C-alpha cells in the first residue's frame, strides 16, 4: 500500500461540485475519499460515481444500523456503486454484520466492510452518565471488534487510543480505520479521543480518516503533503 493510500479525506461538503473539486485537487495525495451522510443525502448516489471518475476511491460512511435483511440490501447496493469500503454499526449485532458481509459479496465488486465500534465523539463519562452503559470504554470497543471479526467483517473504525487492543485481540491483518486524527498544528474540533498521524501509524492504524486539518487548511495540498511526510517518516 502506498503511503497516500492510508489517508482517507472526509468530503464533509454539501454538493457534488464541491466534492469533485476536492477529489480532483487532492487525488494524487489522498488514497480514499469518505462520503458521509451530509454529502450522500444532498447529492445522492451519483456523487460516488463522480468522485470515482476523478480517479479517487470511495469510503461510503453511512454507518448502516438496521435489521439484518435491510442491511443486507443496503450493502448489496453499496457494492454495486463500486465503493472500496463502507461501514455498519457493530451495535447492530452479529446477525446484522453477517448480513452486511453477505450483501457486499453479492453486489458485484466486493468492498471492504468495516464495523463502527464507538464514535470518537463519545468518552467514558458520556457512555456511563448519558447512555447508562456501566462498562469500561476500551472493553466495549474490544468486544465490538472481536464480534465484527467473528461476523466476517474486514476491520473496524476505532480511535487511535484503541488500536493496540484491537490488533492484540483480532490480529494484525484485521484492519483498523482511525478517525480523530489531528496533527499537532490542527485543532481537535468536536472529537474527544484524538491522536497525531504518526502516533496512529506507530500504534498500527491501517487507514487514517482526516477532515478539517486538510479540507479547511489555507493550502490543502500543502497540508496533505505535511501529513504524508509525517506518515512516511514512520513507515520508512
Cell of 40: 450522500
Query: Can you state the percent helix, strand and coil of the chain, rounding each to 5?
Result: 50, 15, 35
The span from the CA of 212 to the CA of 183, in Å, is 11
Residues 6+ apart with CB under 8 A from 17: none
Cell of 187: 485543532
The span from the CA of 79 to the CA of 210, in Å, is 23
Do β-strands 112-116 and 155-157 pair in parallel, antiparallel, or remain unpaired?
A: parallel
Active site residue 63: yes
Contact 168, 176 (CB under 8 A): no
**CA-CA-CA-CA torsion sign (102, 71, 211, 51):** positive
Active-site choice (18, 37, 50, 63): 63
Residues forming the active site: 63
Amino acid at each position: 500500500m502506498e503511503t497516500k493510500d492510508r489517508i482517507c479525506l472526509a468530503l464533509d461538503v454539501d454538493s457534488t461540485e464541491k466534492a469533485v473539486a476536492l477529489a480532483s485537487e487532492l487525488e494524487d495525495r489522498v488514497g480514499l475519499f469518505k462520503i458521509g451522510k451530509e454529502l450522500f443525502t444532498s447529492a445522492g448516489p451519483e456523487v460516488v460515481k463522480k468522485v470515482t471518475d476523478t480517479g479517487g476511491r470511495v469510503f461510503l460512511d453511512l454507518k448502516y444500523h438496521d435489521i439484518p435483511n435491510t442491511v443486507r440490501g443496503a450493502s448489496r447496493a453499496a457494492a454495486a456503486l463500486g465503493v472500496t469500503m463502507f461501514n455498519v454499526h457493530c451495535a447492530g449485532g452479529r446477525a446484522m454484520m453477517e448480513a452486511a458481509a453477505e450483501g457486499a459479496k453479492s453486489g458485484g465488486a466486493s468492498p471492504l466492510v468495516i464495523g463502527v465500534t464507538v464514535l470518537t465523539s463519545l468518552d467514558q463519562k458520556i457512555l456511563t452518565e448519558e447512555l447508562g452503559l456501566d462498562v469500561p470504554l476500551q472493553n466495549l470497543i474490544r468486544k465490538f471488534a472481536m464480534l465484527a471479526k467473528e461476523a466476517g467483517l474486514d476491520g473496524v473504525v476505532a480511535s487511535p487510543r484503541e488500536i493496540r487492543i484491537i490488533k492484540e485481540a483480532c490480529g494484525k491483518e484485521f484492519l483498523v480505520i482511525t478517525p480523530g486524527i489531528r496533527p499537532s498544528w490542527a485543532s481537535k474540533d468536536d472529537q474527544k479521543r484524538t491522536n497525531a498521524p504518526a502516533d496512529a501509524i506507530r500504534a498500527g492504524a491501517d487507514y487514517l480518516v482526516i477532515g478539517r486539518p486538510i479540507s479547511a487548511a489555507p493550502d490543502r495540498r500543502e497540508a496533505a503533503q505535511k501529513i504524508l511526510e509525517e506518515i512516511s517518516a514512520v513507515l520508512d
